[in-house]
Amino acid sequence: MTDLHKPPLELLIAAPRGFCAGVDRAIQIVELAIEKYGAPVYVRHEIVHNKFVVDALREKGAIFVEELDEVPDGVPVVFSAHGVPKAVPTKAAQRGLSYLDATCPLVSKVHRQAERLVAAGRHIVFIGHEGHPEVIGTFGQVPEGSMSLVETVADVETMQPADADNLAFLTQTTLSVDDTAAIVEALQHRFPNIQAPRGEDICYATSNRQAAVKKIAGACDAMLVIGAPNSSNSVRLVEVAVREGTPAVLVQRASDLNFDFLEGVRTLGITAGASAPEVLVRELVDRLSERFDVSEYEVETTRETISFKLPRGLEVAA
């Protein structure tokens, strides 16, 4: 029944949105480790970039630390979904710590490609964001100096590699599909012999969520993206919407929403980054319903059926 006292608001909710298979798996690894070993279980770096998820796991008995040195002897430690430099599991093994690696299998695939390329004598140009845990983890798979980071087309123009005919490129898995395509084009133009990865490094979930935003952005007056400011894939979704000409903001929780942003908005797009749970989408819709007469429509661009195996010893009995 329509509420005559509230202004109407049509919601177009992007699908796919929210959790991807790698995030699902990482959270499950922490939960199962707590079940198996008992609390506390230490986690090096936020398991995924989402405060709600991290706080929920903390309540169950997870302790989040930035460095292995903060983990006491004799307790299990989980490595985050973003991946870690090789030195971290080596150090854990030296200390006799039992560890579980929750690195997303698609990130691990990039790690293996990096090792193979360096073993074949190529210098790697890595497209990514400086300081992001995934970038730090990937650089830590190969000897220092065997990889160079580029973030923009301008970076490509100023590169001075020692051997321009012996390059390969790889990318962070959570980048903007369009921005990365432009950087790859610049690399291939400047270094025609550069070797491309075997497959697309940007993960399926990142690509799918960006495509879903593109699909609905044109029909929306504004967009809300649920995600953390340090979540690369979430920030990219805001950029995709803005590039399509639609004002968009990132919100971590429904309580962060500034209703002034919705002034004059009749059709609102909603999506969630790959580390944001669906419960936050519902929370946001409920908050909007307090002020507006909401009608919601899900716009599905593709269906995701991917799932990843759990590490040995943590398999859930069917």
Residue 41 phi, psi dihedral angles, 5° rounding: -115, 130
Residue 164, classed as helix, strand or coil, is coil
What is the rounded CA–CA span in Å between residue 179 and residue 112? 24
**Catalytic choice (130, 134, 290, 296):** 134
Residues 6+ apart with CB under 8 A from 76: 33, 37, 41, 42, 97, 98, 99, 100
Residue 292: burial class (beta carbons within 10 Å; 0-12, 13-18, 19+): buried
Question: Tokens in use for 239?
Answer: 């950029």
What is the rounded CA–CA span in Å between residue 170 and residue 186? 14
Bridge partners, 100 (sequence order): 78
45's torsion region: left (phi>0), alpha (psi -120 to 50) or beta? left
Sheet holding 167-171, edge to edge: 147-150, 123-127, 167-171
What is the rounded CA–CA span in Å between residue 105 and residue 22? 7
- Whether 134 is a known active-site residue: answer yes
| Selection from 239, 216, 243 nearest residue 298 by Cα | 216
Could you tell me if 89 and 140 are in contact, meaning their C-beta atoms sit under 8 angstroms apart? no
Residues annotated as part of the active site? 134
